[in-house]
Amino acid sequence: MIDIIPAILSPTRDDFHRRFKAVEPYTEWIQIDIVDGKFAPTKTIDHEVINRFRTAKKLEIQLMVEFIEDWIDPFVKSKPARIIVPVESARNPINLIRHVRRHQIQIGFSLNPLTDVSRMQHIIDKVDSVLLLAVMPGFQGQKFNEKIYKKIQDLREMRPDIYIEVDGGVRPGIARTCVEYGANALCVGSYILKNNEIEGETYQEKIKKAIEVLKEDIEGVSSSR
């Protein structure tokens, strides 16, 4: 089964609550993007908003921050199902993996579009997932970088059973191709949350339809996983 994971990047608590409640009925997983304004030139909500929020859904926290070790503990307290950290800012990835796993939380590493998958070589057998960013971090609505297809293949060769997520610029057609190349999950922001192409009388109806369209796009695809 391929996971369609709505990705929420919100600058304020009210915006986060509105988007979360809109996608919550239609998905098992929800990704929350956290940006510090340094790793990428935008800034979002922080751990205080998430720690006060209650949901039965599986949460994936993607941290796009510098000095990742200074950010981990507040989000560990949130008890998400998975935490994603950028390989580019992890000074001691082995210690990070051990620390997060100690709290019974899955850990994955993200790679920016310009980061080669060889950065994962020494830790890929120790992580639960790898997230490939197909756009530069911090902004939704960017164009998908097609070089990501080859990176999916390369990761699959490095570790055949690794859970691979693709994040950024995903829409119908691209979603199907990502799965054909071996992706397990598609993290989708703009197409689900900001899509004016989708018909629907309400914001929530548009979100429901967008998720349905993505599921239809990947239906029956034979993944190379």
Residue 225 maps to a domain:
no
Catalytic residue among 36, 128, 167, 217: 167
DSSP conformation letters of 109-143: EEE-TTS-GGGGTTTGGG-SEEEEESS-TT-SSPP
Q: Total structural domains in the chain?
A: 1
Closest listed residue to residue 16, CA positions, set 37, 58, 39, 47: 47
- Residues spanned by the domain of 133: 3-218
CATH of the domain at 214: 3.20.20.70
d(CA 84, CA 33): 9
Residue 224 included in any domain: no
Query: pLDDT 10s digit of each residue in the chain, 225 long?
Result: 899 999 999 999 999 999 999 999 999 999 999 998 888 888 899 888 988 888 999 999 999 999 898 899 999 988 999 999 999 999 899 999 999 999 999 999 999 999 999 999 999 999 999 999 999 876 666 789 999 999 999 999 999 999 999 999 999 999 999 999 999 999 999 999 987 777 777 888 999 999 999 999 999 886 554
Does any domain span residue 223?
Answer: no
Told to judge if 33 belongs to the known catalytic residues of this protein, a careful annotator would answer: yes
Nearest alpha-carbon partner for 13 in 40, 51, 39, 42: 51
Distance CA 16, CA 102 (A): 29
Catalytic residue among 33, 36, 128, 217: 33
Look up 167 and say whether it is catalytic. yes
- Residue bearing tokens 């992706």: 183
Q: Within a domain: residue 110?
A: yes
Nearest CA to 62 out of 85, 94, 96 is that of 85
Q: Are the C-beta atoms of 150 and 19 separated by less than 8 Å?
A: no
Quick one: pLDDT at residue 25? 96
